[in-house]
Structure 1
Amino acid sequence: SWNLFGAKAAAALPTPGVLATGSADERQSADQRDGERPAVAPLLLRRLDHLMTVERIYRQEGLSIGGLAAQLNVPEYRLRQAINEGLGHRNFNAFLNRYRIDDAKAALSDPTQDDVPVLTIAIDAGFQSIGPFNRTFKAATGVTPTEFRRQAQAKPGTAAENAGDRRIRQAD
């Protein structure tokens, strides 16, 4: 029976040296678990940037890290790593809110949107209600959205008008 089962069974069992050292892939996985994490993939960061800046996915109602990871076709933990380590945000909400606040600041500074209520701008930017928007906006800018709009309107000329003035002066 040893000849029939013993040799095959013994060959199938790992040797003690293999258990201790493992393959190179197993050692790398163990090293990653011990704190040495793989670098964030630049391609993932570019794809994430495209979704946020071009497609403006942050405006999507109910956007979650799981939903965003599914759209990027990556595991959720890899997306978290990209947001935290690759981009330096403390969490997914801080990451989303950066884009949402930038969007709201642009709308509040736009003179063509002076008649648009702050609530509408907040909802368009991806916030679901005015309270969290006001708190997040003030934490990011130091002023309320209404104060920000007032300050933006008080500034002499917009950036586009100032650029036009420079071109006229250069032509002279």
Structure 2
Amino acid sequence: MAIDLIKILPEYFRPVLEFKEIIKADEAVLAELETNIEQIRKNFYIQTADEATLTQKEMLFDIFASPGETIEYRRQRLLQKYNTIVPFSTDFLRDQLTELFGKDFTLSVDSAACKLEVSVTSSRYGAVDLLYNLLWDVIPAHMEIHANQQVNNYSISNFVLEGLCPAHLCRPYRRLIHGSI
């Protein structure tokens, strides 16, 4: 909303050339200030934040952007981190998978055997990374995870994470059983 500063001056100062030039300079500074305020307002939200703000927010979670990652992928990863809340449940995991992949996944949980099987069909950029990060953050350490991501009917990754810790207090070591990432 641009304000005409010349109208703020009393009538007898408006025709003076020096005041007109001062007003022009002030209007330019105010226009830049309004632009900066609008960008600050956008940076409050991950969906509209600029790259510098995304980098700052990623540092809060010890996330380092790799070359080639799009801004949208980085936003999705940050939103996933912010939306990860405890306590975790199967319904929570199902909701997160639905948010990330829509209906293109299957999930089965065998709580007696402490096994979780997830299969995702997605050609989205970074889908396997988003899946891996979600599972790493959400799944308790004692659960065995079988995750599979497929694109165009061939398997991109098929890996198993085995929990080596009996409690939620430590994270499991990653061990690739079969397939490739």
TM-score class, shorter: 0.3 to 0.5
TM-score by length of structure 1 reads: 0.35
Report which structure shows greater RCO (CA 8 Å, sep ≥6): 1
As a proportion of its length, which structure holds more strand? Answer: 2
> TM-score if structure 2 supplies the norm length?
0.34
